[in-house]
Homo-oligomer: A and B are copies of this chain.
Amino acid sequence: MEDKMRLSKYYVKTLKETPKEAEVISHKLLLRSGMIKRLASGVYTYLPLGLKALKKVENIVREEMDRAGAQEIFMPVLQPAELWKESGRWDVMGAEMMRIQDRHSREFALGPTHEEVITDIIRNDISSYKSLPLNLYQIQTKFRDERRPRFGLMRGREFMMKDAYSFHASKESLDEEFENMKAAYTRVFERCGLKFRAVEADSGAIGGSGSQEFHVLAESGEDEIIYCTSCDYAANVETATSTIVELPKAETLDIKLVDTPNVSKIVDVVEYLNVPVEQTVKAMMYKDVVTDDVYMVLIRGDFEVNEVKLKNIIDTIDVVLLTDSEIEDLGLIKGFIGPVGADLTKIKVIADKSIVGISNHTAGGNKLDTHYINVNYGRDYEAEVVADVRTVVVGEKCPKCGGELASARGIESGHIFKLGDKYSKALNASFLDENGKSQIMEMGCYGIGVSRTMASAIEQNNDENGIIWPSAIAPFVVEVIPANMKSEEQVALAEEIYKNFQDSCIDVALDDRDERIGFKFKDGDLIGYPFKVVAGKKAAEGIVELKIRRTNETLEVSKDEVVSKVKELMKQY
């Protein structure tokens, strides 16, 4: 081993102040601990400590992908526009995809993902079912021109990603590989020492028939996860299935238009008309951004429309709420819109499945300052689509077991997809089956944000003093510190222990800097070494202090036992 893990020679430049640009804790701590350095918005250099942590995550990912039977390749960053045009995504990707022209004015994308490239390789190389299934992966720098790059490594414009692509002769084979990858991902996040959840997810713009996200749990997470407190059901709130809320049936009464002056919000309707909120229905007006088709979405007054579900029902890329003037142009009156008595010639009505069973609900009167009461689905109006279009709320029933749903915040760090034939069809990746018949391949794709996983580990594991790395991904597992650099005895003992850790292949740093012990402790807490070993006053007796970063405990351990003690504790922390 080289001598360069002595901090006196190592590149460690911690900062006292948190740079102002940093909003979230991982960003703050990565900058303060000197692990990364900003070069441009969303673009960072990994300094030696940061790169060590990144490589640890990368190696765990690589080992588990290899174990799962995937084969590593390395595809280019520069991707010819022609391939993206062939798949139809050149225009769809919009401003998020960085584009460049070479000296001959040929257009290229800087790879944000590699479905097109890998499918092009496979369609040229593979022609028989005998070569399938196949799973190829790479660990590579990806580019995405985020509108608002922020949160450091959480949402950068240049980031490290593991992306894998599988090819199959049948849907069953794809299903098998999907489960194989789910297991591999579970091992990756377990081995990284992270608390995480695998959740059902929306397939988004990438397309396909099924997908699952892996979320590292952290209060600062951008995503809300719904999970069952009784069974293993878990889903992104974007896609979590709502259950039908059963209401007591009542005798249907005659529909009636009533005056509701200045009463347009649900909360006011409830109070003014003295009805329970469970018996109100609101109408939300949406537009399909692709076709401009207009939708009236009907939902119970106390529920929220889930726009991801709505997009999937309509089968479009995005939806937006109508503006006031667009509402007016349709002859509707904002605050008093309802399904009864409106001109619906240019409007499609979508009803959330929860409203179908409500007896005698309210609805907008489609005239200024009026509402209908005693409205009933089926008798007074009908929708073109009845579907689950609402956002699940905490406390409602689990769609799988009927248990109670709870919510948590998560950071999406992995995502696996069944792509089906979306790309293989567009690019004509076909093979000859057992009968010599040409068939289109089935595809899956599987991503892990390597740099994002590193950042989310910090979001999950930190305190007011700094990072608390899980041992498996810590840049150094142990920091050995002589309490007093002037004590020959302490320095010699520290050197001895440093060497013992090296011999045991445990990543160790020796803090031989000419600094006070207080400074070293503070610096070590910030950097987040899981364990510190201090050669101090009892050095003469061969006794050192072992400090556990996560628990703040200090143990007295004999110098000969400290390596095995750390080995034991590494399983836990």
User: Are B73 and A51 closer than 8 Å at their CB atoms?
Assistant: yes
Contact indicator A51/B37 (Cβ below 8 Å): no
**A4, B69: Cβ atoms closer than 8 Å:** yes
Q: For the complex, is A102 an interface residue (Cβ under 8 Å from B)? A: yes
Bound-complex Cα distance A47 to B110 (A): 20
Residue interface mask A137-177, B partner, CB < 8 A = 1: 00001010101000000000110000000000000000000
A147 / chain B contacts, CB cutoff of 8 Å: 103
A379 at the interface (CB under 8 A from B): no
Stretch from A93-101, A233-241, A309-317, A432-440 that touches the partner: A93-101
How far, in angstroms, from A72 to B45 measured CA to CA in the complex?
11
Judged by a CB distance under 8 angstroms, whether A13 is at the interface is yes
- Residues of B close to A46: CB separation below 8 A: 73-75
Q: Name A98-138 residues within 8 Å CB distance of B.
A: 98-100, 102-103, 106, 108, 110, 117, 120-121, 124-126, 134, 136
A102 partner residues in chain B, CB cutoff 8 A = 98, 145, 157
A45 neighbours in B (Cβ, 8 Å):
73-76, 117, 121
**A272 close to B (CB within 8 Å):** no
Bound-state CA distance A77–B40 (Å) is 11
What residues on B are CB-neighbors of A158 within 8 Å?
76-78
Judge whether A71 and B2 touch: CB under 8 Å: no
Identify A66's interface contact among B2, B47, B69, CB under 8 A.
Answer: B2
Partner of A51, one of B54, B72, B77: B72
Contact: A117 with B48, CB < 8 Å? no
Chain A interface mostly: mixed
Asked whether B39 lies within 8 Å of A75 as measured between CB atoms, the reply is yes
B77 touches A2 (CB 8 A): no
Q: Is the CB of A78 within 8 A of B2?
A: no
Closest-CB distance, A359 to chain B (whole angstroms): 52
**Chain B positions within 8 Å of A157 at CB level:** 78, 102
Residues of B within 8 A of A75 (CB): 39, 45-46
Instruction: Judge whether B51 and A117 touch: CB under 8 Å.
Output: no
**Closest B-chain residue to A98, C-beta based?**
B100
Contact A74 B103 (CB under 8 A): no
Q: Are B11 and A76 in contact (CB under 8 A)?
A: no
A67 interfacial contact with B, CB 8 Å: yes
* Copies of this protein in the complex: 2
- CB-nearest residue of chain B relative to A15? B125
The answer to whether the Cβ of A521 comes within 8 Å of any Cβ in the partner chain is no
Complex formed: what's the CA distance from A51 to B45 in Å?
A: 25
A71 touches B100 (CB 8 A): no
Q: Is the CB of B66 within 8 A of A11?
A: no
Known: A39-B79, A103-B95, A147-B103. A47 touches B73 (CB 8 A): yes
A:41-90 near B, CB below 8 Å: 43-48, 51, 54, 66-67, 69, 71-80
The residue among A4, A46, A78 with the most chain B CB atoms within 10 A of its own CB is: A78
**A51–B74 CB distance below 8 A:** yes
B125 touches A13 (CB 8 A): yes
Cβ of A151 to closest chain B Cβ, rounded Å:
17
Contact check, B2 vs A43: say whether CB atoms are below 8 A apart: no
Contact partner of A74 (CB less than 8 A), chosen from B9, B54, B95, is B54
- The answer to whether the Cβ of A10 comes within 8 Å of any Cβ in the partner chain is yes
CA distance A73 to B11 in the complex (A): 10
Bound Cα distance from A110 to B143, whole angstroms: 12
Q: Which residues of B contact A99 (CB under 8 A)?
A: 100
A360: shortest Cβ distance to chain B, in Å? 52
Judging by beta carbons under 8 Å apart, are A40 and B134 in contact? no
Q: Which residue of B lies closest to A10 (CB)?
A: B71
- Our pick among B4, B47, B117 for the contact of A39 (Cβ within 8 Å) is B117
Give the distance in Å from the alpha carbon of A11 to the alpha carbon of B121 in the complex. 12
Give the chain B neighbours of A74 by CB distance below 8 A.
45-46, 51, 54
A3 to B134, CA, bound (A): 14
A435 to B44, CA, bound (A): 34
* Residues in chain B near residue A67, CB distance under 8 A: 2
Contact A77 to B77, CB < 8 A, known contacts A100-B100, A103-B145: yes
**Given contacts A2-B67, A11-B134, A66-B2, A72 and B100 within 8 Å (CB-CB):** no
Residues on the B chain within 8 Å of A80, using CB? 39-40
Give chain A interface residues in 1-55, CB to chain B under 8 Å.
2-4, 9-11, 13, 34, 37, 39-40, 43-48, 51, 54
Contact of A11 among B100, B136, B145 (CB under 8 A): B136
Can you offer 5 A-B residue contacts whose CB atoms are under 8 A?
A: A39-B117, A45-B74, A46-B73, A47-B121, A48-B71
Q: Which residues of A contact B (CB under 8 A)?
A: 2-4, 9-11, 13, 34, 37, 39-40, 43-48, 51, 54, 66-67, 69, 71-80, 95, 98-100, 102-103, 106, 108, 110, 117, 120-121, 124-126, 134, 136, 141, 143, 145, 147, 157-158
| The 4 residue pairs across chains A and B that have the minimum distance between CB atoms | A46-B74, A95-B103, A100-B100, A48-B71
For the A-B complex with A39-B76, A45-B121, A46-B73 known, give 8 more contacts whose Cβ atoms are closer than 8 Å: A39-B117, A40-B76, A40-B80, A40-B108, A43-B78, A46-B75, A47-B73, A76-B158
